[in-house]
Structure 1
Amino acid sequence: MSEKRAKELENALRSAGVRLTRQRAALLRVIAASDDHPDAAELHARAEAVGAGVSLATVYRTLTTLQAQGVIEKLEFQGEPARWEAADQKHHDHMIDIDTGAVMEFTNERIERLQAEIAAEMGYEIVHHRLELYVRRRRRD
């Protein structure tokens, strides 16, 4: 799956008129293999670990281009560096652990129904939404 995803990312860069260098190709494979919500520095470190030889500036430019092409989404969580995820994922919401920075995806039909009901009561329908819950583990007494 990540090879197919890497090809989609390559095609998006080419469509934007960006030359596909060896370094960018390696970065795209790293992005495609990511199943978490990495920030640019994490992606840079992962690319360096596989010998990509890509600069942090190139990572940022590539991410911005991929976002403009609509293949990745930028997630800006309060107090955290921007994180990235594939744009073609099924709808989900996020919980962010404020102590560890961990980002967890979740879906909940009750929440989805309640949001739709509230919007309908106010005369609207939901076109798009994003829910972020900032959480902390409960302390056990």
Structure 2
Amino acid sequence: MVQDRAQQLENALREAGVRVTRQRAALLRIIAASEDHPDAAELHRRAEAAGAGVSLATVYRTLTTLQAQGVIEKLEFQDQPARWEAADQHHHDHMIDVETGEVMEFTNDRIERLQAEIAAEMGYDIVHHRLELYVRKSAKG
């Protein structure tokens, strides 16, 4: 799975006319293996820890190119650096812990149905949507 995703990312860079250097290939493997929502600085840190020798500027350029190619999505949460995730994932929404910055994915059929009902009542069909809930641990539990 990680290998397939890394290959997809590499193909996207090649299609964009970007040369896939050893450093970029290492970065692509790190992006492909990410199961969280890392920002560019975190991807750079992981690349450095893996000995990839990639600059932060290259991380940003690579992410921008991958986004333009439609294989990753940029997530911009309130008061946080942009984060990234694979574009080919199933639909999900996000909860962002305002104290820790942790981003959690969730799906909820009731919310999906309610959104569709509201749109239909107003004469619309939902084409795309993104739901972000900014949360804090409840004192109750």
1:85: which partner in 2? 85
Aligned AA for 2:88? D
Task: Give ranges in structure 2 of 5+ residues lacking alignment.
Answer: none
Offset, 1:140: 3.5
- How many pairs are equivalent? 141
Give the TM-score taking structure 2 as reference length. Answer: 0.99
Asked if 1:69 is matched to 2:69, the reply is yes
Deviations 1:22-78 (A, max 9, x none): 000000000000000000000000001110000000000000000000000000000
1:18: which partner in 2? 18
- Residues in 2 aligned to 1:111 and 1:128: alpha-carbon distance in whole angstroms: 14
Aligned AA for 2:7? K
- Residues in 2 aligned to 1:117 and 1:139: alpha-carbon distance in whole angstroms: 33
- Residues in 1 aligned to 2:13 and 2:23: alpha-carbon distance in whole angstroms: 13
2:111: which partner in 1? 111
**Structure 1 ranges of 4+ moved more than 4 A:** none
Give the TM-score taking structure 1 as reference length. Answer: 0.99
Asked if 1:53 is matched to 2:57, the reply is no
Q: State the percentage of identical aligned residues.
A: 83
- Residues in 2 aligned to 1:81 and 1:124: alpha-carbon distance in whole angstroms: 33
2:133: which partner in 1? 133
- Residues in 1 aligned to 2:51 and 2:9: alpha-carbon distance in whole angstroms: 19
Name the SS for the 1:104 alignment partner: strand
Name the SS for the 2:53 alignment partner: coil
Offset, 1:83: 0.1
Offset, 1:139: 1.2
Offset, 1:16: 0.1
Q: How big is the alpha-carbon RMSD for the aligned residues of Structure 1 and Structure 2?
A: 0.8
Aligned AA for 2:24? R
